[in-house]
Chain A
Amino acid sequence: MSRLHIADTGLFVAMGQPSNSRYQAVRRFARRNDVTFVLPERVYEELTVDDPEVEDVPVDAAIDEGWATVASSLEFSEPVVSRAMDGVQRYIANADDRPADDVERADAALAALAAQHLSTGAASAVYIYTTDIAAGEGAETVLASEGYGDSVTFVNGFRFIEDLVAGDS
């Protein structure tokens, strides 16, 4: 059974710098379990934005260390990928009572990437690590409607890291 671990921006922000125990706990988890976190392109772009207002996030360090990677472009020609994209945009729009067109496509890219891997059989189980509950629950809901209910898990990025750090102490 092959597993795909998709990471959102919030997971990397929550880990902090490489000197931080949270970063080290996630790295240890990845190495022990042979996990590579896959980032949708849009997520990688967000994390590496040049914004003087915020501290740099060490995503490139994780990539260099071999436990994170950037996904190739989404294949929108696959109908299930576009449906997942549209479905999550609608889900988040509903949650906040705004038009679906206003919803950032990066929110939906997590689910679209999952759909792409599940539909081709490249993965049989997908874990989506995000700190945006609306994006995580939206992905679970929409992919369940595509018949992948048992194959997708929304992992709360904060809970995940807190559990890892608690287990290490």
Chain B
Amino acid sequence: MSRTSNRADGDIVQDFLSVADLLEEPQLAQLYAYLAREGEATVQNVMDDLELAQGTAYSYVNRLVDAGVVDVTDDEQPRRYAAREIDLTVTTAAGDREYTITPALIDAVGRRETDADIDTYIDRHGVAGLATALTYAVARERGEVTHRLMADDLDISPLAAEMILQALRPVVHEHYEIEEAGAGLEELAIDGDGADDA
């Protein structure tokens, strides 16, 4: 499902609405990210791993299927479900910016339920703003940009930039290949666990 918003056919409107739903409802985003991560899962898996009641799990899975972002991969009981690749470029309502909805972005939005920094950032800067921050988070983990450059570019405080970069770091490491950089405790040549606790 790789399309752009400038193709003017009915499918686009369908995709656009369904993906917009995903981003509006963190629980749906969380479920989509779970299916993308697991590859395939049954409703029972969803209930167990996301701690959802049976009725809720069925309702969420069906909504994702209806929206066309999740497929039934095995129609035998129990049915198995898998996330479809989403790579959709959309334009903000104001028409001033474009951003791409990816599984990583949906995962990040899904985490607003449990991460106050992500939640606050979306409240202030919208999902489009979070998409931009995610781009910086990937570049920063690759050693291409610092939190201060992001702060300068986006006209936010360096502290606010550092906060959202740290909140997005697990998403980056989940969805992108990142090489480990810098020393850990071992290489410090200082005993991390030396004398008794004071």
Contact = CB atoms under 8 A, between A and B. Distances in A.
A107 B152 CA distance: 12
Nearest to B181: A133
Contacts of A104: 146, 148-149, 151-152, 158
A54 B156 CA distance: 11
B149 A47 contact: no
Given A10-B147, A159-B184, A164-B192, A133 B142 contact: yes
B155 interface: no
A98 B150 CA distance: 13
B158 A9 contact: yes
Nearest to A31: B198
Nearest to A24: B197
Interface size, A (range): 35 or more
Contacts of A164: 185, 192
A137 B142 CA distance: 11
Contacts of A127: 188
Give 9 nearest A-B pairs by CB, closest first.
A156-B182, A163-B185, A133-B143, A104-B148, A159-B184, A132-B146, A133-B181, A51-B157, A46-B158
Given A13-B162, A156-B181, A160-B185, A54 B146 contact: no
Interface in A97-113: 98, 102-104, 106-107
A163 B186 contact: yes
B181 A33 contact: no
A13 B182 CA distance: 18
Interface size, B (range): 35 or more
Given A133-B141, A156-B181, A163 B192 contact: yes
Contacts of B148: 103-104, 106-107, 132
B1 interface: no
B28 to A, nearest CB: 27
A35 B141 CA distance: 27
Contacts of B117: 54
29 contacts: A9-B159, A10-B162, A10-B165, A13-B162, A13-B163, A32-B191, A46-B157, A46-B162, A49-B157, A54-B160, A95-B145, A102-B149, A104-B146, A104-B148, A104-B152, A107-B146, A130-B182, A131-B165, A134-B143, A153-B183, A154-B181, A156-B183, A159-B180, A159-B184, A159-B185, A160-B184, A160-B188, A163-B185, A164-B185
Contacts of A118: none
Contacts of B169: 158
Interface in A64-83: none
A65 B195 CA distance: 19
Nearest to B147: A132
A13 B160 CA distance: 10
A134 B143 CA distance: 4
B147 A9 contact: yes
B93 interface: no
A14 interface: yes
Nearest to B167: A13
Interface in A1-59: 3, 9-10, 13-14, 28-29, 31-33, 35, 46-47, 49, 51, 53-55, 57
Contacts of A35: 190
Nearest to B182: A156
